[in-house]
Amino acid sequence: MTQPSRPLSERLRDHCRHLYPDDVVARIVPQIIAMVDDGAAHHKGAKTPVLDERSVLLITYGHTLQRPDETPLQTLRQFIDQHLPEMSYVHILPFFPYSSDDGFSVIDYLMVDPALGTWADIAALGEDRALMFDFVLNHISRESVWFADYVSNHPPGNQYFIELDPDTDVREVVRPRSQALLTPIYTRRGINHVWATFSPDQIDLNYANPDVLLDMISIFITYLNKGASLTRLDAVAFLWKTLGTRCIHLPQTHEVVKLLRTINDAVRPGSLLITETNVPHEENLSYFGNVIEHPEQPGEYIGDEAHLVYQFALPPLILYTMNRGNADLLTNWAQSLAPPPPGCTFLNFTASHDGIGLRALEGILPEHEIASLIDSMQQFGGYVSMKANADGTDSPYEINISYFDAMMGTRRGPDSLQIERFLCAQSIMLVLQGLPAFYIHSLLGTPNDQRGVEVTGRLRSINRKRWQWDELEQVLETPHGAQHLVHHELRRRIRIRQQYPAFSPSSAQKIHDLDSRLFIVQRGNGEESVWCVCNTTAQDVELPLVKILHQMEGQALDLLTEQHHALEKSVTLLPYQTMWLTFE
């Protein structure tokens, strides 16, 4: 006999008991229940999308595309409708009023930046596709009302931040940046020093204060009510602070993610949580949580934290593979991946609004190889950002470069195969198990924006170009131009992928290790399988088909070229060619 599901109130109480004393739990749980009930009523009967082979995510800033006499969000919607209708999910990077970091220093969580548009524009974007919102929950802008309250010593903000003596030993704290952890602030009480993990303008919130948690839960539920089918928990790994620890991945942080998962599933069943944790690979996977029995469906099992985690190791591993012309490291890593827990999957990407993170390579790639890769990227116009270490030294944190220009050549230097190499890199990402995510500049083949770096003084601006509509339309319509070729070929491959259930996130995956020059992925089982073969070199590679298709009969069909191949023969893959082989 199956056990009855546990009441929501009991599950919420259990989460909170891992965070606060019993008297605090008794106070806050009824307030959380009331917020959840109100949110659930808002979504009663609403449907949310299901992840399958048709699911593809677009990542973009709200102001990436601009045209006179309309809001950038309106322009974005028209561009997606006309040029990217294949996108089933759209991640609009923070669209709130902000003071720095291109949106990740939020001034007002509940307002759309007037420079971008309105909540009505957000709703319009979500009419024909699912939306992903950023929940920037670790820190807030020093220009926010809460921080103004802190400076003037007014509640509630005067208790919302972490204040420390400047002589406090914080060397153990993991830092993703190179500046000091504690930021001096002039207040009515004098100069105080507050915790700022990312920058002096991004002040960390104090979740040891339960009122901070209550306010952030209210904001989270508002996002669900406003149309977030997928919510990205930004920089969540740093959420809870305890001096004497590394202040990353603490048990309380994981418990907050579990709490948000419970709230998410109760308010808007089917909506998804994704954790953004740019850390070594095994640490990243911890945000799937534990496998538990489904609280509402006894006998079924799920992960109890994020539905998705970013595959942060993938962008630098693919980059290294294409730069070296050797797939061994990528193959070995992919073979070592354990399947995600039930109901969970990976978010696969090669590029994002940030740089190409290097922390995920720790323990995978030797330091001298990372240094050599950085040298190559600098030759292609890129930069490197640093992070602070506990011993007072700095080390590379991310490479700042357009992913298209990162494919300008190999370790030997630039060559004429940039487009082919880039398409191969994107195809590897597109076929791996999970939800594929394309940064808009990858779909446009956008090169390095050196002028953006000069104007802003920020290295990440190299990959955050703002296109004028007319300029972009012109390059996309230039028949033999790089942007035209990349844009149309990637869209074509996405459409092909969307026709085959073997590419569903829930479909099986097997990595074949047959040739150091080839990356080979089998998706699905039996005759419904698709074998994806990628030549990662600048040379022709001959592959006897019987090596991978020895259990099959008949002819193989390459979905990308529509050519048939006899199984007893070999195929020759041109430099950086990709084949998707199946059977008719």
Bridge partners (DSSP) of residue 192 are 185
Distance CA 139, CA 387 (A): 18
Q: b/e string for 91-102 if b means 16 or more Cβ within 10 A?
A: bbbbbbbbebbb
Measured over the CA atoms of residue 197, residue 198, residue 199 and residue 203, the dihedral's sign is negative
N residues, the chain? 584
Q: Are 369 and 320 in contact (CB under 8 A)?
A: yes
Q: How far is CA 47 from the centre of its chain?
A: 24
Element spanning 203, H or E: strand 202-204
Element spanning 531, H or E: strand 530-535
* Cα angle 107-218-42, degrees, rounded to a multiple of 5: 120
Bridge partners (DSSP) of residue 570 are 544
Element spanning 378, H or E: helix 367-379
Distance CA 245, CA 248 (A): 8
Distance CA 292, CA 305 (A): 10
Q: b/e string for 381-414 if b means 16 or more Cβ within 10 A?
A: bbbbbebbeeeeeebbbbbbbbbbbbbbbbeeee
Q: Would strands 65-66 and 467-468 be described as parallel, antiparallel, or unpaired?
A: parallel
Measuring CA to CA, which residue among 105, 402, 432, 133 is closest to residue 276? 133
Element spanning 413, H or E: strand 413-414
Measuring CA to CA, which residue among 363, 470, 378 is closest to residue 75? 470
Distance CA 526, CA 524 (A): 7
What SS3 state is found at 205?
A: strand
Q: Would you put residue 504 in left (φ > 0), alpha (ψ -120 to 50) or beta?
A: beta
533 residue type, one letter: V
263 residue type, one letter: I
Q: Which of the residues 201, 234, 304, 449 is marked catalytic?
A: 234
In order of 407, 475, 573, the CA distances from 485 in angstroms are 15, 10, 20
480 residue type, one letter: H
Distance CA 440, CA 162 (A): 37
In order of 162, 204, 261, 540, the CA distances from 241 in angstroms are 9, 10, 21, 53
Catalytic: 234?
yes
**Phi, psi (5° rounding) for residue 582?**
-145, -170
Active-site residues, by number, are: 234
